[in-house]
A and B are shown apart, each in its own frame.
Chain A
Amino acid sequence: EVHLVESGGGLVQPGGSLRLSCVASGFTFSRYDMHWVRQATGKGLEWVSAIGTAAGDTYYAGSVKGRFTISRENAKNSLYLQMNSLRAGDTAVYYCARGHYDSNGNDFDYWGQGTLVTVSS
């Protein structure tokens, strides 16, 4: 059974940094593109970032480009999101999601339960 478990969320001051992690199990992690998607409380979904299987290809939403860095460690079945220069607008639940293989990896067939990031002074 596929499982994605996020961690690393919490309260951080504006301008601060946070690193999110996602540990995957139940599938061959190295064969799948992976994504981060976020959702502010009571709001819709916003795609944040994606990484290809070999980590060479990375993509970002304009709202986070230059501040966030996605990475992966296939040997540890782990996905990461380094978030710097955080703003109040980054406050959201951050979901780790697996890229759907049948859709070229760019929609999301499994999701974690999310980790809450709150940016506030």
Chain B
Amino acid sequence: DIVLTQSPATLSLSPGERATLSCRASQSINSYLAWYQQKPGQAPRLLIYDASKRATGIPARFSGSGSVTDFTLSISSLEPEDFAVYYCQQRSSWPLTFGGGTKVEIK
């Protein structure tokens, strides 16, 4: 199985700051990586697919980059509603797998 390792586990930032989240795959997954946001008590929301493509309705402050094994989700300027947990997920091979998540919290 492909293991996705997310870092850091927790990111403490203030509104307006830039957030940079990392996801590393245990083997090459080309660009078959997605990012999700999850708020407490809610289902996840798709933000980015194929490493860098924004999903429908996702604000431009969210961007994704990377390929092969190293990927980054960036939030250019944190809004109050962006404080949440973020997960990466690969679709390169079965079984589909998620990373352990990064919590972005208010500093």
Contacts and interface: CB of A to CB of B under 8 A. Distances in A.
B98 A47 contact: yes
A45 interface: yes
Contact of A107 (B38, B46, B94): B46
A101 B25 CA distance: 23
Main secondary structure of the interface of B (DSSP, over half): loop
A103 B96 contact: no
B98 A109 contact: no
Contacts of A106: 32, 91, 96
A15 B36 CA distance: 33
A1 interface: no
A111 B47 CA distance: 13
A106 B43 CA distance: 17
A28 interface: no
Given A44-B98, A45-B98, A50-B96, A109 B46 contact: yes
Interface in A40-57: 44-47, 50
B46 A108 contact: yes
Contacts of A62: 1, 95
Interface string A77-95: 0000000000000000001
10 contacts: A45-B89, A45-B98, A50-B96, A62-B95, A95-B43, A95-B44, A103-B50, A104-B91, A106-B32, A106-B91
